[in-house]
Structure 1
Amino acid sequence: MKLKGQRVLMFIDNIFEDMELLYPYYRLLEEGAEVVVAGPEEDTVYIGKNGYPFRSNAAIAAQKASDFDFLVVAGGFAPDKLRRDPKVLELTRDIHDAGKVVAHICHGGWIPISAGIMKGFTCTSTPGIKDDLINAGATWVDKEVVVDRNQVSSRKPDDLPAFCRAIIELAAR
């Protein structure tokens, strides 16, 4: 259990990418992490873009960055809505600025973009937000997983095994 005693924050809202939330959620639990899945409302069922329901166990507004060891941002279309929440951006920025791991996959990169933390980082994502990342000052590459300092990024659900291995390796250091 490489992550025993660590707390991880994940964000959720409707139209999240089902696999990109569920796969890391269960992998991190397997490694001993406590996973807090925070949505706009606590104890609320959100529906993924493929129809899977998932219940938040916390409200975003009640979270403090100092309570977490790292952040994992799933893709789908939820990040486009979530990045409009100043608290989401504050949490993302504060976790990043503390040197803690910030991991994002697919469209999840929209949140770090809006948080203003991508400048000077090399990353990957779905090609759909490649230009957004480049315009935010990142260097975009087409790889299954990219680790640059405290950031981990991946492109799509097929990359989830490599994405989770990289998160666990970096967070366990």
Structure 2
Amino acid sequence: MTLRNKNIVILTSDLFEESEVLYPQIRLKGEGADVKVLSPTGDSVKGKNGFAALPVDGAIKDVSIEDVDAVVVPGGFAPDKVRQDEAAIELVKAADAAGKPVAFICHGLWVGVTADILQGRTATAVGVIRPEVEGAGATWSDDHVVVDKNLVTAQIPRDLEEWMKKFIDVAKA
């Protein structure tokens, strides 16, 4: 089984962690998914490590939950901007409420905190946001990658391969 005919969106903004956007984008396309990178404004975004400008496929507000099969939120410092976008928060809430796969890595889980979808869940992220994750009602795990039903979380770039493997397994189910 592949991800053919699955529409997956990656939500990001300026100061994204390059590997956490590009790796999922390439990996998911390799599984046959239609992958769209979206930003709050629809404008290209700049990476935190010098990636000059990554073109995006549109604005988050222009996507409907009915058109999305899964959501990926990478890290870097972009999630702090993404979580200020009401359309992004509504999309993440709707995806989770519908049981659609939602993946966060590193600081990306800030978006899950703001979307208020972590109550009673087990999750992981970069350690520095552990207080926010626990404050949002999640049980913190020191595991590199955690799957809690439709929610797939990971700590940092070293976990990209395992994170995407587990996310793909959840998305195929």
Scaled by the length of structure 1, what TM-score is found?
0.97
CA distance in structure 2 between the aligned counterparts of 1:21 and 1:90, rounded to whole angstroms: 21
Report the equivalent of 1:4. 4
Report the alpha carbon displacement of residue 40 of structure 1 after superposing the two structures with TM: 2.2
Report the equivalent of 2:49. 50
Q: Do the aligned residues in 2 keep the contact of 1:41 with 1:59 (CA within 8 Å)?
A: yes
SS at match of 2:13: coil
CA distance in structure 1 between the aligned counterparts of 2:82 and 2:69, rounded to whole angstroms: 21
SS at match of 1:37: strand
Give the residue type in structure 1 aligned to 2:95. I
Output aligned runs, 1:1-173, within 5 Å: 2-42=2-42, 44-52=43-51, 53-173=53-173
For the aligned residue pairs, the C-alpha RMSD in angstroms reads 0.9
The CA deviation string for residues 100-119 of structure 1, in whole angstroms up to 9 with x for no partner, is 01100000000011001000
Report the alpha carbon displacement of residue 151 of structure 1 after superposing the two structures with TM: 0.3
Report the alpha carbon displacement of residue 45 of structure 1 after superposing the two structures with TM: 2.2
Q: Do the aligned residues in 2 keep the contact of 1:5 with 1:32 (CA within 8 Å)?
A: yes
The CA deviation string for residues 97-138 of structure 1, in whole angstroms up to 9 with x for no partner, is 000011000000000110010001101000011110000000
Aligned residues: 172
Report the alpha carbon displacement of residue 66 of structure 1 after superposing the two structures with TM: 1.2
Scaled by the length of structure 2, what TM-score is found?
0.97
CA distance in structure 1 between the aligned counterparts of 2:41 and 2:106, rounded to whole angstroms: 24
- Regions of 4+ moved over 6 Å: none
Counting aligned pairs with the same residue, the percent is 41
